[in-house]
Structure 1
Amino acid sequence: MTAAGGLPELDPVIHAQARLRVVTALSTLREGDQISFPGLKDILGMTAGNLSVHLSKLEAAEYVEISKTHRGRTPVTYVALTRRGRLAFDDYMVAIRALLDTAGARPPASPDPSDPGA
């Protein structure tokens, strides 16, 4: 998707720093694999509350799937990146690369004549 001015539009669900970190971490899993909530929390160095808030937003967008089960009598929560989330992340990476490429395509700024190092 392209925003006004021809620059690529970045997915606002993924673009928030914490959610970008979550999706990036989950994208390293093979499709269909999942990670426990505490494992993801530890990898990201986030608090449980902060991670929960961001996972809720990603789940509402159908980018992650959260499943709750029990291991014996202990409840366990697992998180996985959905196919839709994986595709959204792929699109996000394409958009961010295109955005960065436009920055690299600009001609270099003219030297500032008042700069003694120019």
Structure 2
Amino acid sequence: MSGDDTTHPALALDETVHQRFRLGIMAVLAETAECSFTTLRDQLQLSDGNLSRHLRVLEEAGLVEIRKGYEGRKPCTWLKLTRQGAAALRQEIAALEQLVARMRATDPLR
């Protein structure tokens, strides 16, 4: 590694977003305008309780919006990424891309 004083790209990773299930939640929500709790749960193979805990963290950070209502007579929860959440996801992906580029540039097995 060179002696320059640039920071390592890993420092740009956001701990709230980077956790694998939260990153997965945000990635799924980025693919659609709105997603149901059950669809998200099934896609990420999470339990209701585990998904709820991760959603609470993301909601408290202002990254996800949760809307409860009914589909017919059945209760339903819809989720969507906020503008702040979309920006945070873009920043996380940019940091990951920088990290990957750095690793490729310094790969001793090339």
* Superposition TM-score, scaled by structure 1 size: 0.80
The structure number with the bigger radius of gyration is 1
Question: Which residue of 10, 13, 24 maps to 1:10?
Answer: 13
Partner residue, 1:116: none
1:103 corresponding residue in structure 2: 103
Q: Taking every aligned residue pair, what percent have the same amino acid on both sides? A: 37
Return 5+ residue gaps in structure 1 as ranges: 110-118
Q: Give the unaligned 5+ runs of structure 2.
A: none
The 1-side partners of 2:90 and 2:97 are apart by 11
Amino acid at match of 1:64: V
Between Structure 1 and Structure 2, the one with more helix by share is 2
User: CA RMSD, aligned part only?
Assistant: 1.6
Give every structure 1 segment of 4 or more consecutive aligned residues whose post-TM-superposition deviation is greater than 2 Å. Answer: 71-74
2:21 aligned with 1:26: no
Q: C-alpha offsets along residues 4-57 of structure 1, whole Å, 9 cap, x if unaligned?
A: 85112101111111111111111111xxx2111111111111110000000000
Aligned length: 103
SS in 2 for 1:62: coil
Q: 1:108 Cα deviation (Å)?
A: 2.5
Higher relative contact order (CA 8 A, sep 6+): 2
1:71 partnered with 2:74: no
